[in-house]
Amino acid sequence: MNYFDTHAHIGLIHEDPIEQLLIVKEAAREGVKGIISICNNLRDFPEIYDNLSSASNVYFSAGVSPSEVDHPGKDWQYVLTGFLKQNKVVALGETGLDYFKKYGDKNSQVELFIQQLEIADHYELPVIIHNRNAGDDILDILKTKLPDRGGVLHCFSEDWGFAKKALSLHDNLYISFAGNLTYKNAKNLHETVANMPLDRIVIESESPFMIPAEHRGKRNKPKYLPSTADFVAQIRDTDLETICESLYENSLRLFNIDGK
């Protein structure tokens, strides 16, 4: 079975470039045929890209996360658009809003988010969206600013009611679930996965964070992604092969990747 990790911070798992490639190879042996390498800031992107661009199953996103709102970098828009033109860059992100950590102020976060949504639309790229304690503002902004290529609400943490509102905004907006889906107390996520259209679900490792329950105590890596897929199959009472095929095809469609 094939799996696609739509969100992995490989550079945070290990700084050494050889170890990073080993992480990717480990994942491939477990059936993880695609990984989106995420960078939260523009300073780290060139090094990660150089380290991993030779790996056939790794793709990239570039963006400025809410945590960088006070220091996105000099001429960040010019730098970002340059990165988006690189081979194997398939998305803008992650970007979004984070009111939990209170990075900068809300107005600055909103402005940074909207600017990147507009850039993603211009370059016809999907956007990887971070949301923490900012769901209402996220939905309000996406109503008018979501790029035509859509995007993904990554590491979803809201409830089914929120998911229904989000899915109604655009046929190309997907919802991604990480290892926290497998936690017993994540009833809101279990309900959402059970009710969602299967063709709008993708999964992610969010490594090195959000380790699936059966691997707790370890540092999360993309190779553990099959545990999350298996849990989706259990929640939906559907055979694993059907689930994996759908999740994989959804990921290719989301990021406009030719899976052949």
| Residue list, annotated binding site | 7, 9, 94, 130, 154
SS3 letters across the chain: CCEEEEEECHHHHCCCHHHHHHHHHHHHHCCEEEEEECCCCCCCHHHHHHHHCCCCCEEEEECCCHHHCCCCCCCHHHHHHHHHCCCCEEEEEEEEEECCCCCCCHHHHHHHHHHHHHHHHHCCCCEEEEEECCHHHHHHHHHHHCCCCCEEECCCCCCHHHHHHHHCCCCCEEEEECHHHHCCCCHHHHHHHHHCCHHHEEECCCECCCCCHHHCCCCCCHHHHHHHHHHHHHHHCCCHHHHHHHHHHHHHHHCCCCCC
| Residue list, annotated binding site for a divalent metal cation | 7, 9, 94, 130, 154
